[in-house]
Amino acid sequence: MNFFESQHQARRNTRIMVVLFVLAVVAIIMAIDLVAAAAWIWMHADDPRPRGASMPGLKSVPAWVYVIGALATGIAILLVSLWEIMSLRAGGGAAVARMVEARRVAPNTSDPLERRLLNVVEEMAIAAGTRVPAVYIMDQERGINAFAAGYDISNTIVAVTRGTLETLNRDELQGVIGHEFSHVVNGDMSLNIRMIGVLAGIVFLGAVGGFILRNMGRSKEKEAGAIWVIGLGLFVIGYIGLFFARLIKATVSREREYLADASSVQFTRNPDGLAGALDQIRASGRDSLIANRHAEDVSHLFFGQGVSMGLESLFATHPPLDDRIRRVNPRFQPQGYRGARPKASDVMPDISSAAVGFVGSAASEARTGDSEQAWGHSPRESAALVGIVDDQKVDMAKRILAAIPTSVRERVREPDGACATLVALLFAQNDAVMEEQLTATKTAGVAKLGAAAAVVAREMRGIGPAYYLPVIDLALPALKLASADSQSDLLTALQAVIHADRRVSMFEFVVFTLVRSQFSARTGHAQPKYKAIKDVRDEVVFLLSLVAYAGVHRGPQADQEFEAAFRAGAKELGIPDATPVGRGAVGLDDAGEVLAKLRELAPLPKAVLVKGLFAAVTADGSIRVIEAALMRMIGAVLDCPLPPLLEDLDPETLEA
């Protein structure tokens, strides 16, 4: 199952969840009506009735009692679910982190265990082509567990327990993070976070019943007795809601955990790492249970079983540990592994945080935008790279991180430094042009940010376009901590620098579009708006034209190269008669609107779109640095994460 099929399957699971939710609501309404009827009979037990007549039964209960009971219950469940869904939609993954009292890890933390966690998350994000997520720690939880949450791939969080940090070594931690990134790229997160809100409505009645029992239990009045009966009924009915909630979570989640385990091993090519993490849950004495009062609500998000329950074969959200370990590594030997494994406290310097010099040079970077590599994948094979991570990509991510100067990595860990670094990326190497860009920032009212960027610019001159996206990815966690004014100033400064020379280069377009997309509110939708390429034909043609223009070399053959690239893409997209958009009509603002609309395309036609774009990019059998950056930016905005596409990291080895 590839990325797009997995996304499609996740939406099918949403429909399954809705069906089970409706069944749960029906069952709860029937039970509530029985309680309401019993309360009515209690209230009217002493009413006058003919001699010898039996006690009133369910048939004697007026119809309005059942109607009011059904309407009140249905409306209450719906309102509670909608309220919870809207609350989570506003906060996304961060709202879930707050539910479980998790603390956000500062990007510039000096704690060695936290730094190791950040490094592992950064590696996995760059290898997967996702944005680097915010990282949280559940300091009060001593068990071994973790989760990922969010409404989309580019705006997610990863959280681990304190027990995970203190117990697992780096390989085991990487296995757990790889498992969570599988949920990120396979479309599980949006379903999982939506499930929290949906299920809230069917379990809250039990809480209402408990409240009534606590507050009405001492009253001797008959009316109070009837209310007590209602409270007892609601409390019991709460278990019906809990039954269905657990059944829904188990039905939707269990197979996804097997898939995430398999994906984690594929990411790291180290089955002992994940198997060792699972083994530590059963061997360390810490298990994976979560003590937080919201553990039941979010139990389906966790890496391991978060709550204890009976009938685990029916209700468990996760498969048994022994089965998971056996599937991950059938030859795993617990005793031998435990005796040889490094401890979590053995924190060694990561290669990704070592002080390694940048591999390129300013002279070679001047021509990097025209550099290219041979591309040996068909459009179908290229599109299949979306959402795929393997050990080679993880190793490449480590090399990318090692190639970025340590001072740059440290600077982008705090908001002001991250803003200055991103502006510095777009400063020209020519001093005269750079002065024009600085003047433009002053005119735009962001002179302070422009001056800070100028200080950074000389250091950044060794970082070529091939490294722009990783630098942006590293900066995003800090940028999202910045104030709204700082984010607005950053976009203003980027626009001022871009337009200072009255032209927009493709790299400038990539940087601005990606950064702007990360600041926009994106809460996701239960269903995509557009089900076929034909529904967004104009936008597809616009984007195809943009991609085709990006690969054109300057010279007399430019028109022919563009035509060949556009036609190759149009053929794959099933629109061979499409007319390209003129170069002058491909504007920055229009491109942002086009990408926002295409993001709402359904998964399977989105796969066709990506395949068509790759057909255009690789029509000449090669891929340029700018084309690779453009495709990764498009993938980021469309929630189709692409791993690093250029196998050769050193720009000097690329052929101009």
Domain boundary among 273, 305, 328: 328
180 flagged as catalytic = yes
Whether residues 291 and 423 share a domain: the answer is no
Name the nearest CA neighbour of 337 among 377, 373, 283, 384.
283
**Element holding 170 (H helix, E strand):** helix 170-185
Point out which residues pair with 372 in neighbouring strands: 624, 655
% of the chain beyond a pLDDT of 90: 29
Entry pTM = 0.79
Q: Which residues of 160-182 are buried (b: 16+ CB within 10 A; e: fewer)?
A: bbbbbbebbbbbbbbbbbbbbbb
Q: Does position 189 have pLDDT exceeding 90, yes or no?
A: no
| Amino acid letter, 367 | R
In a domain, 108, yes or no: no
For residue 202, CA distances in Å to 39, 205, 238, 312 come to 21, 7, 8, 21
User: Is 17 within a domain?
Assistant: yes
Residue pointed to by tokens 């369910």:
58
Q: Are residues 619 and 540 in the same domain?
A: yes
Residues 260 and 375 in one domain: no
Indicate the residue among 277, 306, 328 that finishes a domain.
328
Residues 210 and 303 in one domain: yes
Q: What is the pLDDT of residues 91-127, one digit of tens each?
A: 788 889 999 999 999 888 889 999 999 999 999 998 8
Mark whether 276 and 419 lie in a shared domain: no
Whether the pLDDT of residue 309 is over 70: the answer is: no
Q: pLDDT band at 563, cuts 50/70/90?
A: very high
- CB-CB contact of 375 with 475 (8 Å): no
Radius of gyration of the chain (CA): 28
Helix, strand, or coil (residue 155)? strand
Q: CA angle, 388 as apex, 385 and 393 as ends, to 5°?
A: 95
Band (pLDDT 50/70/90 cuts) for residue 7 is low
Give the span between the Cα atoms of 148 and 100, in whole angstroms.
Answer: 13
Distances (CA, A) of 482 to 95, 434, 473, 489: 18, 26, 15, 11
Residue 641 exposed, middle or buried by CB count within 10 Å (0-12, 13-18, 19+)? buried
User: What pLDDT score was predicted for residue 522?
Assistant: 59
Amino acid present at 136: Y
Same domain, 413 and 321: no
| Average predicted confidence (pLDDT) for the chain | 81
Which domain, by its residues, includes 633?
362-653
Cα–Cα dist 62/528, whole Å: 45
- The tally of domains found in the chain comes to 2
Residue burial 113-135, b: 16+ Cβ < 10 Å; e: rest: bbbbbbbbbbbbbbbbbbbbbbb
Say if residue 655's pLDDT is above 90.
Answer: no
Catalytic residue among 180, 296, 365, 372: 180
